[in-house]
Amino acid sequence: MRSVRRLLVVAATVVALTILVPGASAASPKAFHLEKTCSTDVLCTVQVSDFKAIPPLTDITYVPGASAGLMNPTIVVRNGSTTGVCDWNQPAGPVLAICRFGTGTGRLTQFHLVVNVTTNPTTGVWYWDGTYWFGGGN
């Protein structure tokens, strides 16, 4: 009888973990802020970042996207990288582009980032403000 009870307890534990773990592994979105300067239209360097995996002096390179107004930025960090899409086809306003990163490699595996791009034309600093998370989903 004890072995049946033990088996039921183990089975119930497995079922509970199966239900709870996916929700726990998909982390909640966290605030993201990055400041960068650009030496050309295709090369920018991070000056300030509140996300430790993308530290200052990290380069962000851009290549033209599939259609007008799209750029594909790539961020390569120690032990990982991620590529996204920036859409510059935004209505007039302070937000110049919206960039989305779906996933990456290495330490940026399952990294997701969505940021609004703004700039200070006087200082030449570009700002990325938005949210990031790790896990499944868009």
**Amino acid, single-letter form, for residue 10:** V
Residue 136 has pLDDT above 70, yes or no: yes
**Is 59 strand, coil or helix?**
strand
In this prediction, what percent of the chain has a pLDDT beyond 70? 80
- Any residues with CB less than 8 A from the CB of 110 and at least 6 apart, and which? 103, 104, 134, 135, 136
Residue 120 has pLDDT above 50, yes or no: yes
Residue 76 has pLDDT above 80, yes or no: yes
pLDDT of residue 80: 96
Residue 11 has pLDDT above 50, yes or no: no
Residue 100 has pLDDT above 70, yes or no: yes
Mean pLDDT of the chain: 85
Least confident of 9-13, 61-65, 97-101, 105-109: 9-13
Mean pLDDT along residues 113-117: 98
Residue 25: count other Cβ atoms within 10 Å of its Cβ: 11
Contact 136, 26 (CB under 8 A): yes
Global pTM reads: 0.78
